[in-house]
Amino acid sequence: MLKRRLFTPGPVPVPDRVRLAMAQPIVHHRAGDFIPIFQACRTGLQRMFQTQCPVLIFAASGTGAMDAAVSNLLSPGDHALVIRGGKFGERWAEICEAYGLRTTCIDVEWGRGVEPARVEEALDRNPDIKAVYVQASETSTASCHPVREIAEIVRRSDDRLMVVDAITAVGVYDVPMDDWGLDIVVSGSQKAFMMPPGLAFMGVSERAQRFMQSAESPHFYFDLAKELKSLPTDQTSWTPAVGLLMGLAESLRIILDEVGLEETWSRTAKLAHATRESMRAIGLELLSPDSPSPACTAVRVPEGVDGPALRSYLRDELGYTLADGQGALKGKIFRLAHLGYFDRFDTIACIAAIEMALSAVGYVHKMGEATRTATELLRD
């Protein structure tokens, strides 16, 4: 018997209670039954995002909200600054270019966080920059950018937006939208929300709402002004993903009212720390040792080991699906998740599986050492 276990940094496993909530009969979205479901979602999301600002919900993957965060805020020819330190930083740049923005990129070595001084310098040199686009947690490299410090620099002007892809940061660690003065914060259901893919979320500040009024980029489906108008009446512009919203209301109840948001952050951080230390204990190197994200850990495939063979063994022989590297890192790293519905026993067992797989593909190490390290660190 082979049990399938999903360990990718999105999608993540979905708790049974959430799956059952999604199995309830579908209600009509323009009828009264829908109102309490939607209210629970929008107020729960505000708590997750730590904001008093509206948080919009789209039937889309996270990239849909990223697209909206460009098309609704700026006009062709406007100047944007992108922090490009991984696959998703590249995505910001691609979206900005698709909408005809003048895009300046700060290229950051994959696996590192940007130095805030580089952002400061770029903004000083280009005072016409209207928005800064960054990842809080760059999932492709399992690293974090210092969003708080960057926001402090961006906030020196009121005529500039700070747009944060926090797709693997909201519900993972502390990224308080209002306290840090973030204008747009984007996330997605298949991450810390313990949900299937299909919903994108977006917190929108008052400053961003001001920018929206003069933005001239074309858009239709993702129309923030239209959504913001519908939100107070507990409606969305188009047919919402009703089944997913029923699941979201349940997952938010678990995270916010039963487990607790801070407890969720601290559990995730502990799992991440134990994983990093356990990999080091058997001589493996991390891709991002200096600014690791708690969302997932990226481990370098050791010299002489076939990366795809390692992940195939994990998946086909042991039932564990881990993520590959993306872009230039394909086959060179493997990534395992900590965000979402994972507890310490999930993590310890996954580390044991990694040891078994490493040994099967010829990596010589003291068998059990990583598992022992993780067990020690997660004992209490």
Ligand X SMILES: Cc1ncc(COP(=O)(O)O)c(C=O)c1O
Binder to ligand X among 10, 11, 111, 294 (CB under 6 A)?
Answer: 10
201 near ligand X, rule: CB under 6 A: no
Decide whether 139 or 373 has the Cβ nearer to ligand X: 139
Decide whether 86 or 307 has the Cβ nearer to ligand X: 86
Secondary structure of residue 336 in the 3-state scheme: strand
# of chain residues touching ligand X (CB under 6 A): 12
Task: Quote the least distance from Cβ 201 to ligand X, whole Å.
Answer: 11
Secondary structure of residue 124 in the 3-state scheme: helix
Give the whole-angstrom CA distance, residue 131 versus residue 73.
Answer: 9
275 near ligand X, rule: CB under 6 A: no
172 near ligand X, rule: CB under 6 A: no
Binder to ligand X among 167, 184, 337, 348 (CB under 6 A)?
Answer: 167
What beta strand segments (E) does the chain contain?
A: 5-6, 55-59, 79-84, 102-107, 129-135, 137-138, 143-144, 161-165, 184-188, 199-204, 296-300, 320-321, 323-324, 333-337
Handedness of CA 211, 213, 219, 220 (dihedral sign): positive
Give the whole-angstrom CA distance, residue 278 versus residue 286.
Answer: 11
Residue 109 burial by Cβ neighbours in a 10 Å radius (0-12, 13-18, 19+): exposed
Site string for ligand X, 47-66 (x = CB under 6 A): --------------xxx---
Binder to ligand X among 71, 168, 237, 293 (CB under 6 A)?
Answer: 168
Give the whole-angstrom CA distance, residue 81 versus residue 183.
Answer: 15
DSSP type of residue 328: G
CB 147 within 8 Å of CB 117: no
Binding part of the chain for ligand X, among 165-173, 243-251, 259-267, 282-290 by CB under 6 A, reads 165-173
Binder to ligand X among 85, 111, 188, 340 (CB under 6 A)?
Answer: 188
Residue nearest to ligand X (CB): 62
Binding part of the chain for ligand X, among 12-20, 162-170, 265-273, 318-326 by CB under 6 A, reads 162-170
- 144 phi and psi, to 5 degrees? -115, 145
78 near ligand X, rule: CB under 6 A: no
Decide whether 192 or 246 has the Cβ nearer to ligand X: 192
- Identify the residue whose tokens are 């009703």: 242
291 near ligand X, rule: CB under 6 A: no
Contacts of ligand X in 96-125 (CB under 6 A): none
Site string for ligand X, 214-253 (x = CB under 6 A): ----------------------------------------
CB 82 within 8 Å of CB 165: no
Q: For the chain, what's the residue count?
A: 380
Binding part of the chain for ligand X, among 135-143, 170-178, 221-229, 261-269 by CB under 6 A, reads 135-143
Residues found near ligand X in the complex (CB under 6 A): 10, 61-63, 88, 135, 137, 139, 165, 167-168, 188
